[in-house]
Amino acid sequence: MENQLHFRTFDDLVKCINREKDLLQSIFKDRKTHVFSTDMAMVMVDYRKDRIQYLIENGVIHESGNFIELEDVYLKFFEDVLDVNEEINVASVKECIDSLQENITYFLQETNENRKFHYLSIVRKKLRDTGLRTLRNVIDLKRNVDTAYKQEPNYDIKIQKLKNLDEKKESIRTLIRECEKLIETDKAFFALHSNPQMASTIADVRYDFTDAHYSLLSIEKQIIEYIHLIEKQNQFIKKIRRLKYLRTQLTIEDSTNIRQVVAGISPVWMENRQYNRMRLSLETLQSSEEMAALIRKVGLREGIIRKSRTSAPALTAEDLQERVEPLNEIDPQEVWNAFRAGSKDLFSFLLSYDYKQERTIEQHAGLFCLLAVQHPEECKITDKYVQYEDLEYPLIYAK
């Protein structure tokens, strides 16, 4: 296997990441879907294959078929720095504790003061790293618990994930106890407490462990509650499926008391929604500038355009003159009273009546029928018919 190249200087690493930051950012965003294709990468580097090859040769990315992925070392670095890592790495905390014990032994056995101070610095760094990794694992555990319950659609897998996370919680708790035991009981630490910096680091780590301990208690309670809710949901779904089966078999009413149960409850979500309308007074709408602004805002949102009002022109002398316009209407009762006072037949009377305006033959015929219908008891209808233009009508007299 060929030896993989690597960046020779820190400047080369920083320059490469800065030059390809857009590409690396896009690959990192798609790290879970693994769908960042080589063609997409070529577009982002202006179709320069040498830039892609440079990243591959220096171990930043690797090709997997037609797709590109970040190398694990850079992927883990970005996730740790950005605090988006979802994996709970209990082994890393165990490695920190083991390395811590080894360097304490080296510190006690070393006689050279400079090398002894070097081991002391490593112990401080490992101790601080243990506290930080523990807190990070607790945060990741809390996030994974919520994600498993809220996003996993399969109930069996959801319960199994929660149980596995509960086991990881116990592993974290065990490692915390081991580290606390090392700090409290190991005689080697008594030799380190005299150093002010080491004493401050030990105090900080104890505080981190205390915070992690209380967080684990909260997570444990949350896991128990989630598992209880899942089991309750499973029982509910089983009942629903059973009721559906009985309904399909047309035996639901005989096999259950569903009618009595439904009749005895009145859930709020089944009620009609109540709308309470508040009507503002005209005085408030006319006098309040705030209301006027709200009305304009609503009108603008609803697309209602209000036309601007302008002053009307002044009235002229001609506009003020009195005019009389006759109405094209008559009073049927007045016509009937005049007909009863005469001796003519009804249609002849209507033709000779003074209406103060011209009327058509159709209007005469309509009034003739109206009076005959309104006063049947007061009319004497004969069997004789008379022709007038195109109309044939019976002779009707007043009784």
Residue 154 has pLDDT above 60, yes or no: yes
Give the sign of the dihedral formed by CA 364, CA 369, CA 375, CA 380.
positive
Of 82, 75, 127, 76, the residue nearest 100 (C-alpha):
127
Give the mean pLDDT of 154-170. 86
Evaluate whether 155 touches 230 at the Cβ level (below 8 Å): yes
Residue 1 has pLDDT above 60, yes or no: no
Do the domain assignments include residue 367?
yes
Distance (Å, whole) CA 194 – CA 388: 137
The SS3 call for residue 194 is coil
CATH of the domain at 48: 1.10.10
Give the mean pLDDT of 154-180. 85
Give the mean pLDDT of 85-106. 73
Q: Give pLDDT, residue 328.
A: 64
Same domain flag for 28 and 72: yes
Same domain flag for 94 and 184: yes
- Cα–Cα distances in angstroms (integers) from residue 308 to residues 305, 311, 328, in the given order: 9, 10, 38
Q: Give pLDDT, residue 106.
A: 81
Do the domain assignments include residue 251?
no
Is residue 7 within a helix (H) or strand (E), and if so which, with residue range? none
Domain termination residue (choose one: 240, 260, 284): 240
Q: Where are the beta strands (DSSP E) in 194-322?
A: none
Distance (Å, whole) CA 133 – CA 179: 12
Q: pLDDT band for 3, please (50, 70, 90 cuts).
A: very low
Give the residue carrying structure tokens 């003519």: 344
Q: Give pLDDT, residue 310.
A: 59
Residue 235 has pLDDT above 80, yes or no: yes
Residue 307 has pLDDT above 60, yes or no: no
Give the list of residues 6+ apart from residue 49 with CB closer than 8 angstroms, or none: 42
Same domain flag for 153 and 170: yes
Same domain flag for 231 and 168: yes
Do the domain assignments include residue 59?
yes
Evaluate whether 205 touches 155 at the Cβ level (below 8 Å): no
Which pair of tokens denotes residue 30?
């798609």
Distance (Å, whole) CA 48 – CA 38: 12
Q: Where are the beta strands (DSSP E) in the chain?
A: 61-64, 67-70, 379-388, 391-398
Write out pLDDT tens, residues 342-397. Answer: 778 888 888 888 777 788 888 888 888 888 888 888 888 888 888 888 888 888 88
Do the domain assignments include residue 153?
yes
Residue 232: which domain range?
A: 90-240
Distance (Å, whole) CA 22 – CA 45: 9
Give the sign of the dihedral formed by CA 346, CA 347, CA 348, CA 349.
positive
Same domain flag for 99 and 65: no
- Where is mean pLDDT largest: 9-18, 78-87, 302-311? 9-18
Same domain flag for 39 and 17: yes
What spatial distance separates the first Cα and last Cα of the chain, rounded to whole Å?
132
Same domain flag for 68 and 110: no
Same domain flag for 55 and 160: no
Measured from the Cβ of residue 4, the count of other Cβ atoms closer than 10 Å reads: 11
Identity at 156, one-letter amino acid code = D
Do the domain assignments include residue 276?
no
Q: Give pLDDT, residue 348.
A: 85
Which pair of tokens denotes residue 181?
């035991």
Write out pLDDT tens, residues 177-226. Answer: 888 887 776 655 555 656 777 778 888 888 888 888 888 899 899 889 98
| Interaxial angle between packed helices 21-29 and 10-19, expressed in degrees from 0 to 180 and rounded to the nearest 10 | 70
Domain count, the chain: 3
Q: pLDDT band for 2, please (50, 70, 90 cuts).
A: very low
% of the chain surpassing 70 pLDDT: 87
Do the domain assignments include residue 61?
yes
Do the domain assignments include residue 58?
yes
The CA-CA-CA angle for residues 374, 376, 382, to 5°, reads: 130
Same domain flag for 25 and 112: no
* Mean of all residue pLDDT scores within the chain: 80
% of the chain surpassing 90 pLDDT: 0
Q: Give pLDDT, residue 374.
A: 83
Domain termination residue (choose one: 212, 240, 268): 240
Same domain flag for 166 and 98: yes
Which pair of tokens denotes residue 224?
């128990």
Q: Which range is least confidently modeled, 154-168, 216-230, 329-343?
A: 329-343
Q: Which range is least confidently modeled, 14-28, 31-45, 306-320?
A: 306-320
Same domain flag for 125 and 185: yes
Evaluate whether 156 touches 234 at the Cβ level (below 8 Å): no
Cα 277 to the chain's mean position, in Å? 27
Give the mean pLDDT of 98-104. 79
Give the mean pLDDT of 329-351. 82
Distance (Å, whole) CA 324 – CA 271: 62
Do the domain assignments include residue 270?
no
Q: Which range is least confidently modeled, 51-60, 79-88, 225-234, 381-390?
A: 79-88
Q: Give pLDDT, residue 65.
A: 74
Which pair of tokens denotes residue 223?
């896991």
Q: Could you please report the per-residue DSSP string of 26-82? A: HHHHTTTTT--BHHHHHHHTTT-HHHHHHHHHTTSEEEETTEEEE-HHHHHHHHHHH
Q: Give pLDDT, residue 189.
A: 59
Strand partners, 396: 381
Give the residue carrying structure tokens 């049947």: 376
Q: Give pLDDT, residue 171.
A: 85
Give the list of residues 6+ apart from residue 39 with CB closer than 8 angstroms, or none: 66
Q: Give pLDDT, residue 339.
A: 83
Q: Give pLDDT, residue 88.
A: 65
Give the mean pLDDT of 326-340. 78
Identity at 289, one-letter amino acid code = E
Q: pLDDT band for 40, please (50, 70, 90 cuts).
A: confident
Distance (Å, whole) CA 181 – CA 175: 10
Strand partners, 237: none
Same domain flag for 55 and 148: no
Residue 57 has pLDDT above 60, yes or no: yes
pTM of the entire predicted model: 0.50
Which pair of tokens denotes residue 332?
């049927």
Domain termination residue (choose one: 207, 240, 273): 240
Residue 162 has pLDDT above 70, yes or no: yes
Write out pLDDT tens, residues 125-152. Answer: 888 888 888 888 888 888 888 888 888 8
Residue 85 has pLDDT above 70, yes or no: no
Q: pLDDT band for 280, please (50, 70, 90 cuts).
A: confident
